[in-house]
Amino acid sequence: MNSKSGGSEAAPRHYAQAAATDTVKDLGQDRAHTARVHNYLLGGKNNYRVDRAAGDAVRAAFASISRTVLAGQTYAHRVARHLARQGARQFIELGVGLPPQPYLHDTVQATATADTSTLYIDNDPITEAYADALLTDLRTGRSHAMEADVRDPEGLLAAVREHGGIDLDRPVAVFAHALLDFLLDEEDPHGVVAGLLSSLPAGSCFSLTHSAADLAPEAWTAAADAYRRHGISFHPRTGEEVGRFLTGLDTVGPGLTTAFRWHSGSGESDRARSLVTERQAPLYAGVGRLP
């Protein structure tokens, strides 16, 4: 689904290559995109003026949004290290977005004691082009990118099987970070997740981050309004709603908590975690394992 802020107005090289065969409108460069807004909020340069305008509007509505986004990014690598230490060797990142370095495959390859395979998936052609150009590891050939839509879990899994970079008959860690908030309720995000997990083998893991509507309701409501004014649907959810994504899974680490507090095996100090509060980074995070 959607991928997950300024920099020079000149388009990055891979964007320019894509634009050579498609119009700006066809590629969606004339409107804000979740991946590029997210990149801007993280201080990246893979974004356009329209994305920076959206990011500035969100930041004006929710002053600590960049801290919150960074908490989610930090959690992603923390949980990747944790799962790699526990033996995970296959990773799928849904809605890869335009992340800054280090990338997911860098983290798991640096942590695991054996070869790993990482597959980045997004439904946006620009983001997929970025992933294909920059997130694939040419040294090992074990990091790949492909285009698919999480809203069609059956089709996505079929595409993964056809691609061949991940063996779905063996356990896989699936990451849905900064993704499910951008699915409409009518798109049945809980059904989407259940559909994905129902076809994975025992021992597979599912990790998520999600805006915490009940921890900072005014801030998230204002942020959602700002996103919508720039053409992006955004849906904060409560802890009860987010917890339903992990229904039927065995708890890994501390269970569903806030992203900056999910620290199993992180080696971070209590003092470092105490510098952030739930209101400053109201983002849920959790991971479960298929029994």
What does the pLDDT look like over 242-264, one tens digit per residue?
Answer: 999 999 999 999 999 999 999 74
Confidence of residue 31 (pLDDT cuts 50, 70, 90): confident
Contact residues for 198 (Cβ-Cβ < 8 A; gap 6+): none
Residue whose entry in the numeric block shows the structure tokens 């590029």: 36
DSSP state of 245: G
pLDDT at 7: 34
Q: Is the pLDDT of residue 14 over 80?
A: no
Tell me the three state secondary structure of residue 176: strand
Percent with pLDDT over 90 in the chain: 68
Q: 37: closest CA among 257, 241, 224, 261?
A: 224
Is the link from the previous residue into 282 a cis peptide, with omega within 30 of 0? no
Q: Which two tokens stand for residue 82?
A: 């944790």
- φ, ψ at 213 (rounded to 5°): -60, -30
Q: Tell me if the pTM is above 0.95.
A: no
Number of H helices, E strands in the chain: 12, 8
Q: Round to whole Å and give the CA distance between 15 and 33.
A: 14
Element (H, E) at 194: helix 189-198
Task: Note the pLDDT of residue 163.
Answer: 93
Do 180 and 189 form a contact (C-beta atoms < 8 A)? yes
Q: Which residues contact 231 (CB under 8 A, 6 or more apart)?
A: 31, 32
Q: pLDDT value at position 97?
A: 82
CA distance 226 to 41: 14
Given this model, what pLDDT does residue 222 score?
98
Mean pLDDT computed over 196-202: 97
List, in order, residues 6 or more apart from 144 with CB less than 8 Å away.
117, 118, 119, 120, 136, 163, 165
pLDDT of residue 218: 96
Angle (nearest 5°) at CA 54 between 48 and 57? 140
Which pLDDT tens digit goes with each residue over 145-194? Answer: 899 999 999 999 999 999 999 999 999 999 999 999 999 999 999 999 99
Closest CA to 35 of 9, 11, 5: 5
Query: CA quadruple 234, 29, 103, 71: dihedral positive or negative?
Result: negative
pLDDT exceeds cutoff 60 at 268: no
Q: What pLDDT score does 13 carry?
A: 35
Percent of the chain scoring above 70 in pLDDT:
84
Confirm if 34 and 232 have CB atoms less than 8 A apart.
yes
